[in-house]
Amino acid sequence: MGMLVEGVWKDVPRDTRLTGGEFVRTESLFRDQVTADGATGYRAEAGRYHLYVALSCPWAHRTVVYRALKGLEQAVTLSAAGPISEPNGWTFESDPVNGARYLHEVYVKARPGYTGRVTVPVLWDRKTGTIVNNESSEIIRMLNREFDAHATRRLPDMYPGPLRAEIDRWNELIYRTVNNGVYRAGFATAQEKYKDAVRQLFETFETLEQHLARYRYLCGRRMTEADWRLFTTLVRFDAVYHYHFKCNLYRLVDYPNLWAYTRELYQFPGVAATVDLKQIKEHYYASQPRVNPSRIVALGPVLDASDFSEPHGREQLAARSGQ
């Protein structure tokens, strides 16, 4: 796994010896904000911003989902990297904005001498010629509200004031044990760290299964940011995390409510087109040789769009899902 060191791309694998065999995710370093009024120096304008993503990456997938949910395809342009991210990192067939072949070139253009991991998503500003933000949780909030003047689909606020405390509680649990939990399991190099991650993951799955038996969405009858942050991990779970990351106590399809909930989100208008199971499997199996040295892509499970398109039946929960 490579990274930039003083602006030069180098093969620097993650070293878990300092953390006792535990995978620790690094913090995103570009954290500026786009606002509707431009008070931050970055005004939400159609055609000004460009997203660099990879359809295989769950963190980048969040931003692709939000772009589709809001109908921002014309307002915020997009470049998608191919599924194989070795040995030069995320690679693009074409980049109409910066002419970059590799994402690390975009990072260096924004910050010469940059040292750090090169991750997607990236929100690029054409006007100032720099990266605004590379933290998915912050980018989706910008897409949620700040670009409303340019959205072609009108949806309720996904981070409404009255529900923020509840959304934040779900986000914290899901990030720690599910979104990042699968990576803590898959990249662990100590047995106990792996076991802790897997146990916490499936404890949360049990919590979610029981909750979703009573409520249509995490915060009741209203779809929120917390649902979409969870979705991009769930839609990948049986295809890659169950086997590739050894999160194999159970499959997602073994949880009736959680599986139906995933299908409902998948079937929301515009979302299915953002899910590419072929790229997802290719990326994980072929780009992580420390986990899968042979880089052979597993044939199973036999899972495709038709499975996610089966009726979910969760409409019946709407009347008794609280607020």
Instruction: Spot the catalytic one: 57, 66, 194, 285.
Output: 57
- Which segments of the chain are extended strands (E)? 2-5, 8-11, 49-54, 76-81, 122-125, 130-133
Q: How distant, in Å, are the alpha carbons of 36, 259, 260 from that of 306?
A: 39, 14, 13
CB 37 within 8 A of CB 115: no
78 phi/psi in degrees, rounded to 5: -150, 140
Based on the residue annotation, tell me whether 247 is a catalytic residue of this protein. Answer: no
The amino acid occupying position 271 is V
Rounded CA separation 323/319 (Å): 10
Instruction: Spot the catalytic one: 159, 175, 183, 250.
Output: 183
- Helices 191-212 and 164-174 meet at what angle, rounded to 10? 140
CB 80 within 8 A of CB 280: no
Q: How distant, in Å, are the alpha carbons of 206, 249, 252 from that of 203?
A: 5, 11, 13
User: Coil, strand, or helix at residue 9?
Assistant: strand
Count Cα neighbours of 230 within 13 Å in the Cβ-side half-sphere: 31
Based on the residue annotation, tell me whether 241 is a catalytic residue of this protein. Answer: no
Nearest to 186 by CA among 239, 245, 248: 245
CB 107 within 8 A of CB 4: yes
User: Coil, strand, or helix at residue 268?
Assistant: coil
Catalytic residues: 57, 183
